[in-house]
Structure 1
Amino acid sequence: MTAMPDRLRLLSANIQAGSSTRAYADYVTRSWAHVLPNGKRLNLDSLAELVRDFDLVGLQESDPGSLRSGFTNQADYLAETARFPYWSHQPNRRVSRIAGSGNALLSKLEPVELLDYALPGRIAGRGVLLARFGEGEQAWHLAVTHLSLGARSRQLQLSFLAELLSDYPRLVLMGDFNCDADAPEMRPLYRQTSLEPPAERIRTFPSWAPRRCLDHVLTGGFEVHDYRAVPAAGSDHLAVAVELSPRRN
């Protein structure tokens, strides 16, 4: 059994399937990037440079292998390039062979257990990837998710997550929540789990002129020593970096 490190460096990043978006106009002028792989390998290499200094990385909008990624599983590529010995991918949405998207976890620590769940919602295609590390008193859980755009679907998804994660005293939930950490639909999560809202409101979207706080790393049973936004190789979301240590009872 591997003991929990005194410090953990975590990163959560919506990588937009390796695309580059630097202005709202790019959603139109670079719409080809949603179906073609051009330029994505360079962005993935930049992402690999970013993530290699972290212990665990949660990814959202990671393509599992389709036309737009050059049929490359992007989580696999990042894990190999940045030298993460453990990785897992949860494909949630696929449009034929043209595009795919999902959550992923890259880890330098060996997980004891990996589970994935589909999240409820008006439109299918959202999920949560759940990893357990350690045993007994050393055990802790890390979940990676990407919630829906609509508030009603997020309510259903957050209620599901609140029940799923309710028994874990030492816990991290990271991802693109598509809402502020203090949005009304987030309240069941804080009532039913050990999770606490972040101490700081970090604006992460759009990456070129951040106005909205959509990406979060929520923790329970940990002390937070650093919490900041960092560019994620051209993605339209900034990534969130955090440094944690286990809270001692």
Structure 2
Amino acid sequence: MWRGDGAGADGWDVGEQANSRVAPGAKAGAVRRWLRTVERWRWGKDTESRSPWARGRVLAALAVLTAGLMAFHSVVPNAVGRLGSLLETFLPWLGLAVPLLLVLALLRRSAVALVALLLPVAVWGNLFGGMVLADEDRGAHDIMAVQHNVSDENSDPEGTASALIEAAPDVVALEELTPSALSVYESVLGADYPHHAVEGTVGLWSKYPLSDVRPVDIKPKDIPEGWNRGLRTTARTPQGDIAVYVAHLPSVRIRWNGLSSGWRDESAGLLGDAIAAEELDKVILLGDLNSTVDDRGLDPVTERMDSTGRNFAFSWPATLPVSRIDHVMTRSMAVTDIRTLPATGSDHLPIAAGIRFEP
């Protein structure tokens, strides 16, 4: 029946009839496009009839290799370019391979690669997860120590010293002291730290009386005379005497053929021998050791000292810290926490550590 209001015989508006003729085709096209997208991303067989468990095996192998390098880094040889030490210096950053491999596994739609990624995730979590999850509670401590390579190119030693005082440490160890800057540090730190000892380019400022100050010979044999970067002193605290060592090991260089760390390793051996011969039971070591505690080149030191710390506290370089080469270590005592302090005029960040007498 014809309706005078412009409706069609079936009671629909003429415009609606036109839409009904166009819409199904447009909808069908959208559905087809969606199906093609799903087809591209489906987790079934690919164009070569490989299932998600058959493709992506190279990615899976890379995930297993990453886990193996983290878990068994000590077996990577040092004979060529000291590659083992180079790997260990930046070991936490090997975890960055996980998100990269995850993205590639998703793009490849590989189930076997995704499962394999659980290995490096588990290994990294076991090695470093505790540092990520460390709470802000720094815990009880008996001594607060600050370690800082102040840099021999520091243009603001006065500001650097003032910044360290703000952390309220009990002892402050400094490296790369120059003759011109030394008088500034002595002047600024002297009011709060009346006791100090300096040998060569390293020094210690303390609230506790110091005695038996002497240099520690950590000079590699091929370095010319006059190179002095180690000292040892006794700090007389209310809880008893403590041997305090301050050391600055030789720098390392990353070259095209690997890591150059021969002098550093030799110096670490000499420092380890000195600590082993120390007669006092309680020992604190403060210094720039030019590597991380994972680096086997520091084994002569780390085998004799407790280097635990609940945070990464990356201290170098100050502009974008990627490694903690500045350390506070103890023997027969406990490091309760390690953290970085705000940047100074140095290329290193200062680190502060709480130390408890009972290990």
> Which one of the candidate residues 225, 233, 247 is aligned to 2:344?
233
Quote the residue 1:110 is aligned against: 209
2-structure distance, mates of 1:104, 1:145: 9
TM-score, normalised via structure 2 length: 0.52
Quote the residue 1:141 is aligned against: 243
2-structure distance, mates of 1:16, 1:177: 14
Does residue 1:64 correspond to 2:163, yes or no?
no
Name the amino acid aligned to 1:162: G
Quote the residue 1:160 is aligned against: 270
Q: Contact between 1:174 and 1:218, CA under 8 Å: does it hold in 2? A: yes
Quote the residue 1:216 is aligned against: 327
Quote the residue 1:95 is aligned against: none
Quote the residue 2:316 is aligned against: 205
CA apart distance, 1:116: 1.0
Instruction: Report the secondary structure of 2:209's partner residue.
Output: coil
Q: Contact between 2:244 and 2:285, CA under 8 Å: does it hold in 1? A: yes
CA distance 1:112–1:46, shift in 2 (3 Å): closer
Quote the residue 1:78 is aligned against: 188
- Structure 1 unmatched ranges of 5 or more: 1-5, 20-38, 92-101
CA apart distance, 1:126: 4.1
Q: Contact between 2:150 and 2:160, CA under 8 Å: does it hold in 1? A: no
CA apart distance, 1:133: 2.3
Name the amino acid aligned to 1:104: G
2-structure distance, mates of 1:163, 1:111: 22
Bigger RCO (CA 8 Å, 6+ sep): 1
Instruction: Report the secondary structure of 2:351's partner residue.
Output: strand
Name the amino acid aligned to 2:307: P
CA apart distance, 1:180: 1.1
CA distance 1:49–1:201, shift in 2 (3 Å): closer
Q: Deviations for 1:72-105, whole angstroms, at most 9, x for unmatched residues?
A: 524322323x5211112112xxxxxxxxxx0011
> Which one of the candidate residues 43, 46, 51 is aligned to 2:165?
51
Structure with a larger share of its residues in strand? 1
Q: Deviations for 1:136-194, whole angstroms, at most 9, x for unmatched residues?
A: x9321111111101411122111111111113431111111111112111112233x3x
Identity across matched positions, percent = 21
Name the amino acid aligned to 1:231: P
Does residue 1:15 correspond to 2:150, yes or no?
yes
Structure with a larger share of its residues in helix? 2
TM-score, normalised via structure 1 length: 0.73
How many pairs does the alignment contain? 203
Quote the residue 2:299 is aligned against: 187
Name the amino acid aligned to 2:246: V
Name the amino acid aligned to 1:204: S
CA distance 1:77–1:17, shift in 2 (3 Å): farther
Does residue 1:169 correspond to 2:281, yes or no?
yes
CA distance 1:222–1:176, shift in 2 (3 Å): same
Name the amino acid aligned to 1:8: I
Instruction: Report the secondary structure of 1:16's partner residue.
Output: coil
CA distance 1:109–1:134, shift in 2 (3 Å): closer
- Structure 2 unmatched ranges of 5 or more: 1-140, 253-260
Q: Contact between 1:85 and 1:107, CA under 8 Å: does it hold in 2? A: yes
Q: Contact between 2:158 and 2:185, CA under 8 Å: does it hold in 1? A: no
Quote the residue 1:28 is aligned against: none
RMSD of aligned C-alpha atoms? 2.2
Q: Contact between 1:158 and 1:189, CA under 8 Å: does it hold in 2? A: yes
Q: Contact between 2:216 and 2:274, CA under 8 Å: does it hold in 1? A: no
